Structure 1
Amino acid sequence: MKDFPGTPGTLTGLLLRISQFVFAAGSIASMASTSSFFSFTAFCYLIASMGLQVIWSFCVGIVRCIFLDEKKALHNPVLVSLFVVGDWMAVAFAYLSWVTIATSSLIMLWLLAAG
Structure 2
Amino acid sequence: MRELAGSPGTWSGLSLRVGQLVFAAASVCATASALGFAAYTAFCYLIASMGLQALWSLGLACLDCYALKFKKDLHSAVLLSLFVVGDWVTAILSFAASCSAAGVVVLFDRDIYACRNPQLPCGRFELAIACAFLSWAFSATSALVMFWLLASL
Pair in the same fold by TM > 0.5: yes
TM-score by length of 2: 0.69
Q: Which has the higher contact order (CA 8 A, sep 6+)?
A: 2
Q: CA deviation at 1:74?
A: 1.4
Q: Which residue in 1 is equivalent to 2:100?
A: 100
CA RMSD of aligned residues (A): 1.5
Q: Which residue in 1 is equivalent to 2:75?
A: 75
Q: CA deviation at 1:31?
A: 0.6
| SS of equivalent residue, structure 1 residue 6 | coil
Gaps of 5+ in 2: 115-153
For residue 112 of structure 2, what is the amino acid of its counterpart? L
| SS of equivalent residue, structure 1 residue 24 | helix
Higher deviation after alignment, 104-113 or 56-65: 104-113
> How many pairs are equivalent?
113
Partners of 2:91 and 2:22 in 1: CA distance: 16
For residue 112 of structure 1, what is the amino acid of its counterpart? Y
Q: Which residue in 2 is equivalent to 1:112?
A: 113
Moved over 4 A (4+): none
Q: CA deviation at 1:18?
A: 1.1
Q: Which residue in 2 is equivalent to 1:34?
A: 34
Does the 8 Å contact 1:49/1:94 carry over to 2?
yes
Q: Which residue in 1 is equivalent to 2:55?
A: 55
Q: Which residue in 2 is equivalent to 1:2?
A: 2
Deviations 1:39-85 (CA, angstroms, capped at 9, x unpaired): 22111000000010011001111111111112233111111111111
Partners of 2:29 and 2:70 in 1: CA distance: 34
Describe the shift of the 1:2–1:73 C-alpha distance in structure 2 as closer, same or farther (beyond 3 A): farther
Identity across the alignment (%): 45
